Amino acid sequence: MVVSGAASTAPLPGIGGGPVEELRLLLRQGFLARAGWDSDIGVLVPDRDDALLGLRECAVVDCQAATRAGWAELCSVCWKRHKATGLTLEQFAAIPSGKASHGERPCRVTGCPRPSRVRERLCGTHAWQRKQHPGLALEVWLARPEVVPLSSYGDCRVPACIRRADDQVGLCKPHVKQWRKHQRGDPDTDLDTWCRHSMPVALGHVVVLKGLPEQVQAELLVGLQRRTDAGLRTLPTTIRYLVKLAHAHQVGSVFDLAGVRSSDIRHDAGVLLRSLLSELRCATSDPERERAKDIWQLVVFGLPGTLDFTGISQEWLRAAIKQWAAEDLPLHRGRQAAATSRDTINAATRLSESLQLSRDDHGVDAAVLGRADIVTFTNRLAYHRRTGTISEKTQLNTLRRVRRLLEDLRALGMTGHGNPPPVCLGSSPCAAVTSHGKTTVSSAAGICRPRCWP
């Protein structure tokens, strides 16, 4: 699954430069067209029949709801009604459902820009005027000379909303309802503050990214593009959930959502979020760049999980273990491929802590380290095992890992500037451990035989 580089290097409107520049260059015009990306408004409107991005529309003539499943022909409400009628699907689909449309349609008075709010598709004012002539047929009333278009209230003042305002306050109808409900609970709230933190209203199968930071918009688009390239289906309803989550947590990047607890996120959205994060890591990094970081996202290396080097405080040791891990990772396969590297990093972290605590210089200068430091390390491990902080097995594994690490560093030729000096361990570490009655541990680890720093 490879994103074919920048198919178009021309700036994509709606996605700014700076930190999102790299993401922007990854987006292909072909995908944006397929996803129905409108950069002016900030919405995704994929084709309803798109196998990977769309949501099929209910077969009933005036129903805009999505079908209750990919294979179904009707939405949940129409399906229940259909079961009760006993009609064939074709007969049933031809009968208008009479459901109020959730999508936004303009008033049917010619030229009136206000959104309709009743089943006759009239705006609020025209609906009131229409009520004054209940005896007239709608078409006759529409033809009367006093029925003229009204001025627009403009766009809804909620930054994340793409609907038109429905009243003088400047809010669309759903946001008017939400605002009044909020006001009842907290009468002192400022309307502008409330608007800033309000979320977009669901609108058919449209996904509204408007109101999110440009970085988040670009990340979502790149993640979606890669998922679609890989043949993975992404439901608009699940993306909408993530969009709401991004609004609620006011994140500056999709990666900020990784900190949301799994119990606070819907299951399918959690799965999509993890997938998007993996795709973004692959899209924005490569093994060379990942090696320079202190936490490696192993998805970049084709493996699950992470490797965390932040517990190693000495620069030289961290650089050496990173180089070692980069050499070791390709030698393993499967879900546990990183287990050896992870165990070795844990062992190196214990060595790092020992150097940090036992030396006045905290072990930052590799050139002055000696055999005594390894003796201290093995003594610390023996102490921790004796006090129950670590098990005997952990002590043994740590010694083995450190031993192998030091041998490998020497074999790999990592003994240049900044790497540990060639200092023999001798047999004293063994004595240090055996003095606590566990000869087998240090012997099994091979520490009792003379060992050298690389």
Q: Backbone phi, then psi, for 431, in 5-degree steps?
A: -60, -40
> How far is 382 from 379, CA to CA, in rounded Å?
5
390 token code pair: 């670590």
Pair of tokens at residue 441: 């541990």
Give the residue with the Cβ less far from Zn ion, 123 or 337: 123
Q: Tokens 């993306």: give the residue.
A: 239
> Smallest gap, in angstroms, from Cβ of residue 252 to Zn ion?
23
Closest distance of CB 99 from Zn ion, Å? 7
Q: Cα–Cα distance between 453 and 284 in angstroms, integer?
A: 37
Smallest CA-to-CA distance from 362 within 400, 314, 406, 404 is with: 314
Under the rule (CB under 5 A), what is the footprint of Zn ion?
58, 60, 63, 65, 75, 78, 107, 109, 112, 114, 123, 126, 156, 158, 161, 163, 172, 175
- The whole-angstrom separation of Cα 31 and Cα 268 is 23
Could you tell me how many residues make up the chain?
454
Shortest Å distance, C-beta 234 to Zn ion: 23
Smallest separation (angstroms) from Zn ion to the CB of 260? 25
Tell me whether residue 23 or residue 161 sits nearer to Zn ion (CB atom): 161
Q: What is the DSSP letter of 164?
A: B
Q: Is the Cβ of residue 58 or residue 321 nearer to Zn ion in the bound state?
A: 58
CB of 98 to Zn ion, least distance (A): 11
For Zn ion, give the closer residue by CB, 26 or 158: 158
Looking at the Cβ atoms of 74 and 396, the one nearer to Zn ion is 74
* Residue 178: CB minimum distance to Zn ion, A: 9
Between 177 and 233, CB nearer to Zn ion: 177
Least separation in angstroms between residue 196's CB and Zn ion is 13
Q: Which residues pair with 308 in a beta bridge?
A: 295
Residue 37: which H helix or E strand, with range?
strand 37-38
Query: Please, are residues 160 and 198 in contact by the beta-carbon 8 Å criterion?
Result: yes
Q: Are 79 and 86 in contact (CB under 8 A)?
A: no
Q: Provide the token pair at 363.
A: 């072990």
Between 65 and 351, name the residue whose CB sits nearer to Zn ion.
65
